[in-house]
């Protein structure tokens, strides 16, 4: 109590405060105003407003002072960075807190993955709040590395840094009242449950919301978001690398309903994070599209804190942590400095914090069976001769796909990639339990003219996914991914032309973020040289294995019709 009474004395002006930030233009997200103010800080917390005697004075000479930004929903693993490097990357963009769903590392390592995340939190100044993944595995249509049950959710929910239960992806089970799914939802106790309801509407949406799920980040249109808003959902406006929905949704945000919106990135690759920005990018883009400036800052701060019940962050007020951003241009979000608990983490264009400790250890997660190149073959069965095969068709800019049927190219008794028609072979190889499972299919719209690309980031179970123009390069990609303990690789004409090792669960690099970005860019250029012109080829590849998003995907169990929720044969009906 002594420390608290000292802060009370400082608030009364009886003893000096630690820091007085003078001549700021305060962006008050509670009152919706901008006005001149001085902010007093002691022991990392805001003590009061106005003039105070201070041990240190920071005259910001008319800069705007806004609360630190909060990402409402991100799978940090999509950045391929450890949490300390993730913190280094996002804090210069004004982010001082994130709500993460470590769904990816949990599908590989289960509770060990969640513990690994929690063990990182005392190493970094960034506030990280964890939503315990609810769908491990995401569906029964693939082989995951672990299982998290409702008992384990109930066990973890009491952790201080746990904000609730992560996105409930199995929305058909929620709507239909599957018992074990609802036990997982009820394990949240008094905390939040995140939603995942792409395209859900009408009575099915009513049932989904009735089940205690009251947020969603999957809306891709204003119409979809508006129905969910009207029915009481909190809408996360998503703007990530491949999922870009902000422009479609921002038109329905008004001053009257804005408190029901937050910004989220969901999945963001590291180069886009550094070059485009994080939540600062969402603020900037929203204002450019007509959102009121103060409203944009409220959506980026207090709205998320209020929705999740995050204590003492999201605004500038007495008792709250002194997490703030100094800006010279409010509309263009030009950041001059970022402070966390009253200490600078970024200022004058340079970082003021850098991780110098040791990362927690984690066990190996690359355990695929020994395969031979001939195991990758897709025999053309006599009864399928002359028939058509199911092919996954990529939709540019989306993670949903189409199902098309094509006449297969058959050579030497096997179905082969048809490069002239932009049809590649795609395989998913189980890597957790050495089962030898290989799902095989074909994908249209990737653009590769030679070689193969592979990854151990393959949503949601993160098996090995490889797409290529020939079995020899596909097999070499598989062997190389084994040798580097997971990661990304590009192979062309019998040699590895680029890679990015991800030895932490096959998902994260241990390198500084600058090097990860550099290697990812170089790797992407190699893939472009091989014919693929997509901006994020490895992210597209990773989502081709996602059996929770329509329409046709591939897992280690085979081709999956997501709408029918079943494995389907390669030969079309």
Give 40-69 pLDDT, tens digit per residue: 999 999 999 999 999 999 999 999 999 999
User: Span 245-250, mean pLDDT?
Assistant: 95
The first and second tokens of residue 492, run together, are 């062309």
pLDDT given for residue 174 in this prediction: 94
| C-beta separation of 540 from 394 below 8 A | yes
For residue 352, what pLDDT is reported? Answer: 82
Q: Cβ(508)–Cβ(77) under 8 Å? A: yes
Beta bridge partners, 70, equal: 97
The per-residue pLDDT for 383 is: 59
Q: Do 132 and 148 meet the contact criterion of CB atoms below 8 Å apart?
A: yes
The answer to whether the CB of 508 falls within 8 A of the CB of 89 is no
Phi and psi torsions of 552, nearest 5°: -110, 125
Q: Tell me: the pLDDT tens digits for 494-522? A: 999 999 999 999 999 999 999 999 999 99
Structure-token pair, residue 143: 């082989």
Which range scores top for mean pLDDT: 23-37, 237-251, 380-394?
Answer: 23-37
Q: Pick the range with the lowest mean pLDDT from 2-6, 219-223, 275-279, 461-465.
A: 2-6
Q: How many residues does the chain have?
A: 573
3-state secondary structure 499-561: EEECCECCCEECCCHHHHHHHHHHHHHHHHHCCCCCCCHHHHHHHCCCCCCCCEEEECCEEEE
| DSSP E strand stretches across 143-291 | 162-168, 192-195, 215-216, 234-238, 261-264
Mean pLDDT of 116-123: 94
**Mean pLDDT of the chain, nearest integer:** 94
Count Cβ neighbours within 10 Å for each residue of 358-384 and write b for 16 or more, e otherwise.
ebeebeebbebeebeeebbbbebeeeb
Where is average pLDDT lowest: 78-87, 255-264, 473-482, 564-573?
564-573
On the CB side of 56, CA atoms within 13 Å amount to 9
pTM here? Answer: 0.93
Domains of the chain, by residue range, sit at 68-312, 373-568
- The residue-averaged pLDDT of 328-339 equals 97
Secondary structure string (H, E, C) spanning 246-279: HHHHHHHCCCCCHHHEEEECECCCHHHHHHCCCH
Structure tokens at 179: 């018992």
Q: End-to-end alpha-carbon separation of the chain, Å?
A: 72
Q: How confident is the model at residue 351 (pLDDT cuts 50, 70, 90)?
A: confident
* Topology at the third CATH level for domain 68-312: TIM Barrel (3.20.20)
Q: How confident is the model at residue 565 (pLDDT cuts 50, 70, 90)?
A: confident
- Residue 4 pLDDT class (50, 70, 90 cuts): confident
Express each pLDDT in 124-170 by its tens digit: 999 999 999 999 998 889 999 999 999 999 999 999 999 999 999 88
Q: What is the rounded distance in angstroms from the CA atom of residue 215 to the CA atom of residue 260? A: 9
Residue 3 CA to residue 299 CA, distance in Å, equals 33
pLDDT category at 386 given cuts 50, 70, 90 is: low
> What does the block give as tokens for 252?
């329905």
């Amino acid at each position: 109590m002594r420390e608290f009474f000292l802060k009370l004395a400082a608030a009364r002006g009886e003893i000096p405060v630690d820091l007085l930030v003078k001549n700021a233009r305060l962006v008050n997200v509670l009152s919706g105003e901008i006005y001149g103010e001085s902010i007093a800080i002691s022991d990392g917390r805001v003590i009061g407003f106005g003039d105070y005697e201070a041990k240190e004075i920071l005259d910001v000479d008319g800069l705007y002072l806004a609360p630190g930004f909060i990402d409402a929903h991100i799978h940090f693993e999509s950045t391929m960075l450890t949490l300390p490097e993730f913190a280094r990357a996002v804090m210069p963009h004004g982010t001082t807190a994130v709500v993460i769903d470590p769904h990816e590392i949990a599908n590989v390592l289960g509770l060990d993955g969640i513990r690994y995340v929690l063990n990182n939190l005392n190493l970094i100044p960034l506030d990280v709040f964890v939503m315990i993944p609810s769908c491990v595995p995401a569906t029964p249509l693939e082989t995951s590395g672990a299982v998290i049950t409702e008992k384990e959710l109930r066990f973890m929910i009491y952790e201080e840094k746990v904000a609730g239960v992560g996105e409930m992806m199995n929305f058909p089970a929620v709507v239909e009242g599957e018992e074990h799914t609802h036990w997982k939802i009820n394990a949240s106790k008094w905390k939040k449950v995140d939603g995942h309801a792409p395209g859900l509407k009408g009575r099915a949406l009513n049932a989904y919301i009735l089940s205690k799920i009251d947020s969603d980040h999957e809306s891709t249109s204003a119409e979809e978001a508006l129905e969910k808003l009207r029915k009481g959902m909190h809408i996360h406006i998503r703007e990530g690398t491949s999922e870009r929905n902000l422009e479609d949704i921002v038109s329905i945000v008004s001053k009257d309903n804005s408190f029901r919106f937050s910004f989220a990135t969901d999945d963001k690759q590291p180069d886009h994070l550094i070059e485009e920005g994080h939540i600062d990018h969402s603020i900037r883009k929203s204002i450019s599209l007509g959102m009121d400036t103060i409203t944009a800052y409220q959506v980026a701060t207090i709205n998320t804190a209020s929705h999740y019940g995050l204590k003492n962050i999201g605004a500038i007020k007495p008792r709250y942590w002194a997490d703030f951003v100094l800006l010279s241009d409010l509309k263009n979000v030009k950041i001059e400095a970022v402070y966390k608990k009253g200490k600078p983490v970024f200022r004058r264009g340079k970082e003021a914090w850098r991780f110098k400790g040791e990362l927690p250890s984690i066990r190996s997660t690359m355990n695929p069976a020994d395969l031979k190149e001939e195991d990758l073959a897709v025999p053309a069965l006599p009864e399928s001769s002359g028939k058509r095969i199911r092919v996954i068709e990529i939709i540019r800019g989306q993670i949903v796909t189409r199902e098309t049927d094509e006449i297969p190219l058959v050579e030497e008794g096997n179905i082969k990639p048809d490069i002239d028609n932009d049809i590649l072979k795609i395989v998913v190889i189980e890597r957790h339990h050495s089962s030898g499972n290989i799902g095989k299919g074909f994908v249209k719209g990737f653009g590769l003219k030679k070689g193969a690309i592979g990854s151990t980031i393959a949503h949601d179970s993160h098996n090995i996914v490889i797409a290529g123009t020939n079995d020899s390069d596909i097999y070499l990609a598989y062997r190389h991914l084994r040798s580097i303990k997971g990661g990304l690789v590009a192979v062309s004409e019998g040699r590895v032309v680029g890679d990015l090792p991800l030895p932490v669960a096959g998902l994260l690099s241990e390198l500084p973020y600058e090097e990860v970005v550099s290697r990812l860019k170089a790797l992407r250029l190699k893939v472009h040289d091989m014919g693929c012109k997509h901006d994020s080829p490895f992210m597209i590849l990773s989502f081709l294995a996602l059996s929770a998003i329509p329409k046709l995907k591939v897992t280690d169990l085979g081709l999956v019709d997501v709408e029918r929720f079943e494995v389907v044969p390669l030969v079309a009906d």
